[in-house]
A and B are shown apart, each in its own frame.
Chain A
Amino acid sequence: MKRMPNAKILRDYIFLALFTTCLFLPAKGEGVLYISETPMKAASGRSAGPGGHAEHRASASRSYYLSAEDLSSDSEVLVLRPDGSRGEASMHICGEGLMLTVDTRPMDASSDGIFLVYVVDRHVENETLLVRVAKLNLLNHSCRWGHEYKFNSERLRAKFSDEVPLDITASPLWDGNFHSRTMSGDVIGVQALRYGKPLEGAKISLSTQGGWTKTFRTDDSGTASVQLIRDYYPAQWSEFSRDKKGTFRILAEAEFEEMGVLGDQPYTKVRVTTSLPWKYASSRREYQSYAYGLSLGATFMVVSGLGVFIYRERRKKSYREIQFDEHR
């Protein structure tokens, strides 16, 4: 006979479920801070990542969303333009939360490249200074400007700021034309930097939109690498879209024994987390075939070559000698 759970057990289950849910929901001012092109859904992080800004067109400003609903009074925004000069950004509250608008004027090739956008939030909790850094590589490019930087390694390289407590760079994320180029299967090199200097032993984790996470630590040069897995599996091949972009987030974490005071709050330890979102597409190997391509090309070469050869052979006329009698 099937036994029905009594009301007390059911109540305990519900309580346990609610408690577990609350445990994983970050409180205000906690959790990882990250920037996204699309509005956040709570703070789960599953919807995070750059979304729909056009990569091929210029824009006077570009807006992004922050994962936090509010920031401490000690938060700051840092924008570095591709030429290294300081850029401007403003933050305001909108229906979807905190919105960050970066000024990307002037709309000419002088600002062609990658803007570095940082939001740094600091607050003290239990004598620990919690520093949350959200970094964004902003692609500011218009194909109309041309692609004069495509072989300029200085303009193309992944940059960092030595003003940021914990910075991370990742590459390769874009191609010479400043379009995102990351594909599943790519090996991504990550470097952690503490005020511009390589940081050994930083905990790095890479999480994809599908929920896959890989955690590793940086070596003595502050670097580590990870291969991005494939996590796009449509049920049917007809549903496959090569343009579908997945998002991933790189998170760096480090702790330091440092004493200091923030405002009037002393601290004895510093914990820094830095996030960097990016997007990736399916690997071309998933939907492109050399075998079929070269076979088809070779078939057409052979068939058309044979066709011309046979046509010429059939038009050949056998030799017929014509003799003229010159005496007649």
Chain B
Amino acid sequence: MSTVKKRSINHGDVNRFRFWFQIGAFVILVYGGYWALDISTSLPTFSCVFPSSRGGTCYLYPLQHQVNMTWKQFASPRVIGVLTAFGTFVFLFLLFNKAWCGFACPIGTVQDWITRLRLRMGIRPGVYTEATFNRLKVLKYVLLVLLILLPLGISNSLLGLPKFSHDVATSFCMLCPGRTILPIFTGDFSQLTIDFSSKTMTVLTGLGMAVLGTTLVGAFYKKRFFCLFCPMSALHYVFSKGALLGLKKDGAKCTRCGNCYRVCDMGIREIADDLERRNIVQDDCMMCFKCVAACPEEGCLKVTVPGLTVYQSTEEGFFARSASRLNHER
């Protein structure tokens, strides 16, 4: 890549690029069906299955369906389908790493739009203390384990417990704000209801509406509020180290100015504090690359694909962005 091209990329505003990319991804994932698009049924992002016009399907939905089988079936050819879907998910994830969250996730995009609304209203954001942040981030692993165990417990008796009701087959989807929010964009409001057909469904859909109300308010005060609890993010992190797209840090060049931490929507402290690790992607990172744009040190933070630096922090780029105040948020 020529020096001029590199310079223009490094001086570019990743936030503006991400804003338009997110809109494009949102249109494809929520309305793609109108153009007969069906990218995959194992997408590593919240492309919710509930809008009928979707252009792809979030992997968590088929995952919950597929693990709903007996132990015996896990040793049968039926497991090929499970492995194929899982393999597709891993393959797609490895291409873009957690940038699926920062650039493509429709629920992440909606949260970012809510954040923009707050900024326009001049209301300051909320920030978790380190202790609260560490306590809350565990929840996504709990949700990930539950979303696998509950469907598994429909076909099998777990720890001697009676088999679960079929109503918990897609229990996480019932709680996920993607189910309640995204169909609204297609004119479908049918998910904003409580389902009284069984006790389990009453509880699950009730919780779903509670999560919706809390998420809308939470996302207004706290950037990417729901992402801290997202089990997809937890599943991502299992494979993150092998992904092609990387976020690298050169600790020797870091002056610990804290810019990267201050602009981080997720509030990841390690991005500023960790001077040892080269791969700086954390489980809560969504690879929005705001940190790279906010770093004034030459080559301290880099976005890489194997053998190539795609985007990196530069002093010149930092001042160019600062001058236009595009990277500054309250």
Tell yes or no: B209 within 8 A of A by CB.
yes
Tell yes or no: A26 within 8 A of B by CB: no
Residues of A contacting B251 in the complex (Cβ-Cβ under 8 angstroms) = none
Query: Given contacts A176-B52, A296-B213, is CB(A290)–CB(B193) below 8 Å?
Result: yes
Using Cβ atoms and an 8 Å threshold, which residues of chain B touch A150?
33, 52
Contact A301 B213 (CB under 8 A): yes
Structural contact, B52 and A304, CB atoms closer than 8 A: no
Are B194's CB and A300's CB within 8 A?
no
Across-interface contacts of A298 in B (CB, < 8 A) = 213
Q: Report whether B194 and A288 are in contact in the complex, using a CB–CB cutoff of 8 Å.
A: yes
Q: Which of A280-320 contact B (CB under 8 A)?
A: 284, 287-290, 292-294, 296-301, 303-305, 308
Given A148-B38, A151-B34, verify A289-B52 contact (CB < 8 Å): no
Residue of B whose beta carbon sits closest to that of A299: B213
Q: Is B221 an interface residue (CB 8 A)?
A: yes
Hey, which chain B residues are within 8 Å of A287, CB to CB?
Answer: 195-197
- In the complex, how many angstroms separate the beta carbon of B164 from the nearest chain A beta carbon? 16
Main secondary structure of the interface of B (DSSP, over half): helix
- Residues of B within 8 Å of A144, CB to CB, are 41, 81
| Complex Cα gap A287–B38 (Å) | 32
Interface size range on B against A: 20 to 34
Residue of B nearest to A146 (CB): B38
The interface bits of chain B over 16-40 (1 if a CB of A lies within 8 angstroms of the residue's CB, else 0) are 0000000000000000011010100
> In the bound complex, what is the Cα–Cα distance between A284 and B194 (angstroms)?
11
Cα of A122 to Cα of B189 in the assembled complex, Å: 50
**Which of A152, A175, A243, A293 sits near B192, CB closer than 8 Å?**
A293
Closest to A243 in B: B166
B221 touching A308, Cβ below 8 Å: yes
Assembly CA distance A241 to B36 (angstroms): 34
Q: Is B210 an interface residue (CB 8 A)?
A: yes
Instruction: Tell whether B126 is near chain A: CB-to-CB under 8 Å.
Output: yes
- Minimum Cβ distance to chain B for residue A212 (Å): 23
**1/0 contact string of A216-241 vs chain B (CB within 8 Å):** 00000000000000000000010011
Find the A residue at minimum CB distance from B222. A308
CB of B126 within 8 A of CB of A308, answer yes
Q: Which residues of A contact B193 (CB under 8 A)?
A: 284, 288-290, 292-293
A14 on the B face (CB < 8 A)? no
Q: Is the CB of B196 within 8 A of A301?
A: no
Q: How far is the CA of A304 from the CA of B216 in the complex (A)?
A: 10
Closest chain A CB from B153 CB (angstroms): 19
Taking the closest CB of chain B, its distance from the CB of A235, in whole angstroms, is 16
Interface size counted on chain A using CB atoms at 8 A: 34
Determine if A297 and B41 form an interchain contact, defined as CB atoms under 8 angstroms apart: no
Contact in complex: B192, A304 (CB < 8 Å): no
Contact A304 B218 (CB under 8 A): yes
Residues in B whose Cβ lies below 8 Å from that of A175: 52
- Residue B286, interface by CB 8 Å: no
B212 at the interface (CB under 8 A from A): yes
For residue B201, which residues in chain A have a CB less than 8 angstroms away from its CB?
Answer: 242
- Shortest C-beta distance, A238 to chain B (Å), equals 8
With A176-B52, A288-B194 already in contact, the answer to whether A300 and B205 are too (CB < 8 A) is: no
Chain A, residue nearest B211 (CB) = A300
On whether the beta carbons of A296 and B209 are closer than 8 Å, the reply is yes
Residues on B with beta carbons closer than 8 Å to the beta carbon of A241: 197-198
* Those of A176-213 within 8 Å (CB) of chain B: 176-177
**B326 → chain A, closest Cβ, in Å?**
28
User: Is B214 in contact with chain A by the CB < 8 A criterion?
Assistant: yes
- From residue B64, how far is it (CB to closest CB) to chain A in Å? 13
Once bound together, how far apart are the Cα atoms of A264 and B190, in whole Å?
Answer: 60
Looking across the interface, which residue of chain B has its beta carbon closest to that of A150? Answer: B33
CA distance A240 to B167 in the complex (A): 13
A225–B122 Cα distance when bound, in Å, is 56
Determine the residue in chain A with the shortest Cβ distance to B36.
A148
A86 within 8 A of B: no
- Residues on the A chain within 8 Å of B126, using CB: 308
CB B202 to nearest CB in A, in angstroms, measures 9
Does B217 lie at the interface of the complex (its beta carbon under 8 Å from any beta carbon of A)? Answer: yes
CA distance A301 to B81 in the complex (A): 40
Does A143 touch B at the CB level, under 8 Å? yes
User: Is there a chain A Cβ closer than 8 Å to B12's Cβ?
Assistant: no
B38 with A147: CB separation less than 8 A: yes
Do A289 and B194 contact each other (CB < 8 Å), given the known contacts A296-B209, A305-B217, A308-B126?
yes
B92 to chain A, nearest CB (A): 15
- A143-B194 in contact given A300-B213, A304-B217, A304-B218 (Cβ < 8 Å): no
Closest chain B CB from A156 CB (angstroms): 12
CB < 8 Å neighbour of A297 from B52, B190, B209, B220: B209
Q: When chains A and B are docked, how far (Å) is the Cα of A293 from the Cα of B213? A: 10
A150–B166 Cα gap in the complex (Å)?
27
Q: Once the chains bind, are B81 and A290 in contact (CB under 8 Å)?
A: no
Bound CA–CA A288/B209 (angstroms): 13
Q: Are B196 and A297 in contact (CB under 8 A)?
A: no
CA gap between A288 and B190 in the complex, in Å? 9
A143 touches B41 (CB 8 A): yes
A304 touches B213 (CB 8 A): yes
B258 interfacial contact with A, CB 8 Å: no
Give the shortest distance, in Å, between B256 (CB) and chain A (any CB): 27
Measured CA separation A215–B189 after assembly (Å): 35
Q: Are B195 and A300 in contact (CB under 8 A)?
A: no
> CB within 8 A of B52: which of A177, A240, A308?
A177
Given contacts A284-B190, A296-B213, A301-B213, 12 further A-B contacts (CB under 8 A): A144-B81, A147-B33, A147-B38, A151-B33, A243-B166, A287-B196, A292-B194, A292-B206, A299-B213, A301-B216, A303-B213, A308-B126
A-binding residues in B (CB < 8 A): 33-34, 36, 38, 41, 52-53, 81, 126, 166, 180, 189-190, 192-198, 201, 205-206, 209-210, 212-214, 216-218, 220-221
23 contacts between A and B (CB under 8 A): A144-B41, A146-B38, A151-B33, A151-B36, A151-B53, A152-B36, A175-B52, A241-B197, A241-B198, A242-B195, A242-B197, A242-B201, A284-B193, A292-B196, A292-B206, A293-B205, A293-B209, A296-B209, A297-B180, A297-B210, A300-B209, A304-B213, A304-B214
